[in-house]
Structure 1
């Protein structure tokens, strides 16, 4: 959809220009994650998406959709829509004509480096106009800026939450973090609201992990962040089956399909096989032991993927003490794989499966559930490295702008040459999250190396 860039805003933005005080010359605004009340798993947000916003919206779309088009056309498109939607007649357009004549967006953006963990309430970005005739522009861009930036920063923070959990358990149960890059795999593309949201969210996931099935996310990093998959890994995955493949062979041929995949289709390397099309515990308790010599004889790893049930019980069993379960369901997948294929006990005393076999679970995983699964595995003496999580839209699509309270608020104006610090502090805001900073802000690291800020500058 090619919405004119002049209309990429809320309707009320169109009328703000004439509402500001006469002789307004500059509006300075601050983007801040104001609260984690709805996302208490993190005390910070990961800064991401700013370069994408600048390149895609402020440069490409404004150049192609405004500055490089005939002025008469872009003004007529704007007038037509506003006249019949907002009821203005005549429609004010002199400010847009002047902007077209200027030939560029006169704005300045200052931001924290992308990838920075910014504490809640610390500003991540400021925007202001650099030409007094276009004081209205920085506020006008608020809608697209928030619309574009809250998701990548929020998804990057969710991914960082998974990373912190996985690193913590990896250090506890293996003594290092080798392999964590691949322990959370993005399965979210089909469950996100659009191609673009899945791409942006998937790109955010890649700040913390290399494993992902969201192909466009890797392309995003090449297009907007100068990544190059030929020079360094951006995104990685492995061959994997889906239920249609398994069902095409039929239930009676499932064991032979495993053999076919392992010997004919993928005689070496990693391959993931969804294993619950019919009877998951029969696969685990009967088919895999029958194929033990084939699996252990391959140069590679078979990854078992359950896709239904209660994740923590499927992986860890319904009996939580190691060696006490009698049936596969009571033992859980990881203990069953240990019983069949063995492995090693590492220096910290935790069991690590034979490298020819592994597990991934990608249905209904959340931060809380991942934590619980790793706790239960550790309690049974298993290292966290024995499982990979598939992270889907339940983690990434369930968040909103309010999860971290992202807001862009004006905190300073210049009127007739005089700078004035401004702020909002609603008395009805009992939680205090809607109070804005006052004046220009300075973000810096204190003596302890922590990011903080001070406001009130003019």
Structure 2
């Protein structure tokens, strides 16, 4: 018997059809523009939000996944059947024109700031232009798909700012800045809405960090950004691997973790709050202490419940009493043989508060790693950075005209007008949005690069290059 999902209209083929990767009302828009329209220009910006700068990342993933494969007659038939039944008109002639005159590749030009760039909000980040009079409307039709770049940008932006926070405390309290890329571990895979979200958001986090348990995010970073291995993890216990031993044998479960994974130079993470965190800490510091020391590895304790500020400090003090500490060059104490990973209640505010509490108590930031889940990959949305894609210019006949919206009810939604580009001062690093044509003078240079044109990806960056650009200011 033939599998019903293997035909031309199975759900996988529908979801991968670019004509359907849009909003329903977009199907009718080709009938709504001025009849003399011959080209269109749109742009993407962050109109402000939680952070005053965004780290640009993720467009390369979207382009590789959705725009580098041609439209086919089968896709057109599939979309025609859907929109007809759905109650929308369908521009069959336009899509067939793309197949017949462009080999199925969309005749649009996408320009963008290089990925890894940190750009102040209220600046153009991406422009989309279509100057083929027969299908000029593509510059707007692609909005739904392209604007989803808000998600990797917002994840990458949050992680970049959290790296800045953690880096500040390392500079203040630590002798070892090399540990910074491993200070915020991605725990977010189970807290997102889909496998694709885990892949895209997980990859975005890796611009600033190299620790992750989100397998699909690491796979995506490797695949779309030409990396051999974008992030790393360590053997770690979960509650089931501890509680399956029973409460009376919890110490045996701990001992098994050290026996299995505690090797010289290795790191092993053990959740220790299954029953009584403080009893567990006592066991680690007494009957299990020698096994930890003999292993030659580093034990990382995960106190997985309670107020982070309070519990982390109590855990550090208990471990210091058992394992001791040394005072580093910044006058802060660093635990011997043991560390803490906080994975519960972790968000930007609790990270800052926990690090501040540790510093006030004299503990170096070396002592802690954070594992961040839902707050990293899911507790954000398009309005976190107020992302929008708008048409800013249209060509009527042979002449370009500015286009903008300027609602009296919300000045914050005022859009930019004209064919836009972004300039960067290579001396000061300042960015400035302006209109084309532009005469670049002095220390200014055009920051936007053509990354896609008519089906061809023109820039294929590595994650290493993106990381270098994102953190160039760190010296």
The alignment's TM-score, normalised by the length of structure 2, stands at 0.86
Aligned counterparts of 1:278 and 1:272: Cα–Cα separation in 2:
17
Cα gap change, 1:275/1:122 in structure 2, threshold over 3 Å: closer, same or farther? same
CA–CA distance in structure 1, aligned partners of residues 338 and 176 of structure 2: 20
- Answer yes or no: is 1:271 the counterpart of 2:268: yes
Whole-Å Cα distance in 1 between the matches of residues 260 and 191 of structure 2? 33
Question: Residue in 1 aligned with 2:347?
Answer: 366
Three-state SS of the structure 2 residue aligned to 1:101 is helix
- The residue that corresponds to 1:143 in the other structure is 144
| Distance in 1 of aligned mates of 2:284 and 2:107 | 66
2:291 aligns with one of 290, 294, 297: 294
Instruction: Kindly indicate whether residue 94 of structure 2 is the aligned counterpart of residue 95 of structure 1.
Output: yes
Change in 2 beyond 3 A, CA 1:452/1:312: same
Contact 1:344–1:353 (CA<8 Å) still a contact in 2?
yes
Asked whether the 8 Å contact 1:155–1:204 carries over to 2, the reply is: yes
| SS of equivalent residue, structure 1 residue 372 | helix
What whole-Å deviation, never above 9, does each CA across 1:364-423 have from its counterpart, x for those lacking one? 101010000000000000011100000111232111001111111111111110111121
- Please state how far the C-alpha of 1:19 moved relative to its aligned partner: 1.1
- The whole-number CA distance in structure 1 between the counterparts of 2:244 and 2:75 is 54
Deviation, 1:266, is: 3.5
- Count of residues in Structure 1 that have an aligned counterpart in Structure 2: 421
Q: Is the 8 A contact 1:421 1:456 kept in 2?
A: no
2:318 maps to: 336
Distance 1:15 1:47 in 2: 32
Determine if contact 2:27/2:88 at 8 Å carries over to the other structure: no
**Residues 134, 262 of structure 1: alpha-carbon distance in 2 compared, 3 angstrom cutoff:** same
- Matches of 1:422 and 1:456 in 2, distance apart? 14
Kept in 2, the 8 Å contact 1:437–1:455? The answer is: no
Q: Once structures 1 and 2 are overlaid, which stretch shifts more, 443-452 or 196-205? A: 443-452
Specify whether residues 83 and 344 from structure 1 end up closer, same or farther in structure 2 by C-alpha distance, changes over 3 A only.
same
In the other structure, the counterpart of 1:47 is 56
The aligned counterpart of 2:370 is 389
The offset of 1:425, in angstroms, is: 0.9
The 2-side partners of 1:123 and 1:151 are apart by 17
Residue 158 of structure 1 contacts residue 396 of structure 1 at CA under 8 Å; is this kept in 2? no
> In the TM superposition, what is the alpha-carbon distance from 1:300 to its structure 2 partner?
1.0
Q: Check conservation: 1:46, 1:115, Cα contact below 8 A.
A: yes
Counterparts of 2:381 and 2:58 in 1: how far apart (Å)?
16
Partner in structure 1 of residue 244 of structure 2: 248
Secondary structure in structure 2 of the residue aligned to 1:124: strand
Q: Secondary structure at the match of 1:448?
A: coil
Secondary structure at 2:270 match in 1: strand
Alignment map for 1:152-163 (pairs within 5 Å):
152-163=152-163
TM-score, length-normalised on structure 1? Answer: 0.89
Pairs within 5 Å for 1:388-427 = 388-427=369-408
Alpha carbons 2:38, 2:131 under 8 Å: kept: no
Structure 2 match to 1:188: 188
Distance between the aligned counterparts of 2:81 and 2:283, measured in 1?
70
Q: Distance in 1 between matches of 2:146 and 2:274?
A: 44
1:352 aligns with 2:334: yes
Aligned CA RMSD, in angstroms, stands at: 1.6
Q: Tell me if the contact between 1:27 and 1:412 (Cα under 8 Å) persists in the aligned partners.
A: yes
Aligned pairs for 1:31-46 (under 5 A) are 31-36=44-49, 39=50, 42-46=51-55
Q: Does 1:58 align with 2:73?
A: no
Unaligned runs of 5+ in 2: 1-11, 439-475
Correspondent of 1:10 among 23, 27, 47 = 23
d(CA) in 2 for partners of 1:171, 1:205: 22
Query: Which secondary structure does the structure 2 equivalent of 1:159 belong to?
Result: helix
Q: Distance in 1 between the 2:77 and 2:178 partners?
A: 59
Q: Alpha carbons of 1:453 and 1:125: their partners in 2 closer, same or farther (altered >3 Å)?
A: same
In the other structure, the counterpart of 1:313 is 310
Please state whether the residue corresponding to 1:178 is helix, strand or coil: helix
1:451 corresponding residue in structure 2: 431
The whole-number CA distance in structure 2 between the counterparts of 1:130 and 1:291 is: 71
CA pair 92-173 structure 1, distance change in 2 beyond 3 A: closer
Please name the residue that 1:108 is paired with.
109
Q: Work out whether residues 394 and 401 of structure 2, in 8 Å CA contact, stay in contact via their aligned partners in 1.
A: yes
Matches of 2:334 and 2:403, distance apart in 1: 59
CA distance in 2, matches of 1:257, 1:380: 32
Q: Which whole-Å deviations, capped at 9, do the CAs of 1:181-236 have from their partners, x for residues lacking one? A: 1110000000011111011111011101001001111211221111113xxxx110
Supply the distance in 2 between the matched residues of 1:378 and 1:237 (Cα, whole angstroms): 27
Deviations 1:235-272 (A, max 9, x none): 10000111111111111111122223213453442111
